[in-house]
Amino acid sequence: VEDTATGGDHRRRRRVLFFPLPFQGHINPMFQLAGVLHSRGFAITVFHTHFNAPDASRHPDYHFVPVPDDDGGTPTPGDGGAPPAADTLHVTLERVLAVNRACEAPFRELLAALLEQRRDEVACLVADAHLLTLLDVARELGVPTLVLRTGSAACFRIFMAFPMLCDMGYQPARESELDLPVRELPPYRVRDLLSTSAAGHAVMSEVISRLVKAVATSSGLILNTFDALESAELASLRRDLPAAVQVFDVGPLHKLSPSPATSTSLLRQDRRCLDWLDTQAPASVLYVSFGSLASMSATDIAEAAWGIADSDVPFLWVLRPAIVPGSGAGAPPLPDGFLAAVDGRGVVVGWAPQEEVLEHAAVGAFWTHCGWNSTVEAVCAGVPMLCRPWFGDQMGNARYVADAWRVGVELDGEIERGKVAEAVAAMVMDGGTRRRARELGKRAAESVAGGASGVNVDKLASHIMAL
């Protein structure tokens, strides 16, 4: 272990405090970043909620501080934190605000206690961009703050432009204007913005203005992205943010972090699917997963299932327990006759070791919801994507996949079996998209191997040492 942060015998080891937002798509990159900084010699303390708490035993070198968060809700066992209501986005945003409220007082107390013992060691707090209240608490107690935003640079650009988008009438979106281009921010269309119902607009506006404030009042924005993917977007953020906020593009974090992906999974990853992939031909399998939060109706599942069956393509499908709201933690309902119809041509699991799956030679395409982590993981693995975004930043990510990088295609509208079968079969056959996906994957690998990502991590480490 390189130990640059100890500064030899003369100085004390510097400690970085982390506070992830307690959702899988936010926990993974936060722990990957912690792993990267730990390997640069920093000591690590992780503050976390009881809700979706990390498993401390998988990180014996880290110091964990549980923060009571009664308002944050109690997860249904094994559901990975999926809200039990149909409007997942709205419920998730409300929960984000609730976590801030519930943790404020206990975090203040616990951080003050830690500072009493270790003030000299503490370099800074790195918190999720959604945790403005807790970032404010840290600053009030004299701790410098950095923000990890777990989405793309392009998405943060949309957050910064949100007041303009509202003034110009793009948000909240009107049904009749969904296909219009957002001329100020190509390649977005109105439907790719963070649109929510008019009723959800108030909470969305509040959450976005808090995100922007969290970044603007911190001394750095850390993004899980890299120049080969988002150079123009990164340049625009560097231009538009206050000069005191440095932007660190330290992605792809999952390729830089020494910790295995299994160490932060909230659900048990079913590794048997890797053995099944070993038996399949190269680039032949469709991998299907919609991340940790998206919900589906039983009808959507049936249409997706029959579409996959009719495509005649081998598949590995992640159907998370409780993906159907209100269905409990049992296995989600597959339509009668589906398993007999596919006759061993595919495997359905509750949760997969996704990074390893995407890197497996047998995987030829990824039907994804375009969560940012899934998108970056697929880009790095060089796997083309069939994009079916659900909410939030996912539509914008899909737009980049399909129109900016051209490494995938979008499946628009309702999930319908005929459309699914056609799109899946076309995707697996499409040589052009596959070639571009492989090329982009190579550029990502060069960014890691060629050191650009590592240089940016070094810059971040120096910045932290200087705070």
Nearest 5 degrees, angle CA 211-CA 368-CA 390? 50
Q: Name the region of 102 (left: φ>0; alpha: ψ -120 to 50; beta: rest).
A: alpha
369 counts as catalytic: no
Cβ-based neighbours of 10, under 8 Å, separated by 6 or more: none
CB atoms within 10 A of CB 263: 16
Could you give the CA distance from residue 231 to residue 156 in angstroms, rounded to a whole number?
A: 14
Could you give the CA distance from residue 166 to residue 43 in angstroms, rounded to a whole number?
A: 43
> Least distance (Å) from ligand UDX to the CB of residue 24?
5
Nearer to ligand UDX, 43 or 293 (CB): 293
Could you give the CA distance from residue 122 to residue 125 in angstroms, rounded to a whole number?
A: 8
458 counts as catalytic: no
Nearer to ligand UDX, 291 or 314 (CB): 291
Nearer to ligand UDX, 25 or 73 (CB): 25
> Least distance (Å) from ligand UDX to the CB of residue 23?
6
> Least distance (Å) from ligand UDX to the CB of residue 41?
26
> Least distance (Å) from ligand UDX to the CB of residue 306?
22
Greatest CA span in the chain, whole angstroms? 69
> Least distance (Å) from ligand UDX to the CB of residue 379?
12
Nearer to ligand UDX, 172 or 321 (CB): 321
List contacts with ligand UDX (CB under 6 A): 23-26, 28, 150-151, 265, 269, 289, 291-293, 318, 351-352, 354-355, 371-374, 377, 392-394
> Least distance (Å) from ligand UDX to the CB of residue 244?
26
> Least distance (Å) from ligand UDX to the CB of residue 34?
15
Nearer to ligand UDX, 230 or 355 (CB): 355
Nearer to ligand UDX, 21 or 37 (CB): 21
Nearer to ligand UDX, 114 or 188 (CB): 188
For residue 330, with 0-12 CB atoms within 10 Å meaning exposed, 13-18 middle and 19 or more buried, which class applies?
A: exposed
Catalytic residue among 69, 128, 192, 249: 128
Could you give the CA distance from residue 29 to residue 253 in angstroms, rounded to a whole number?
A: 7
Active-site annotation, residues: 26, 128
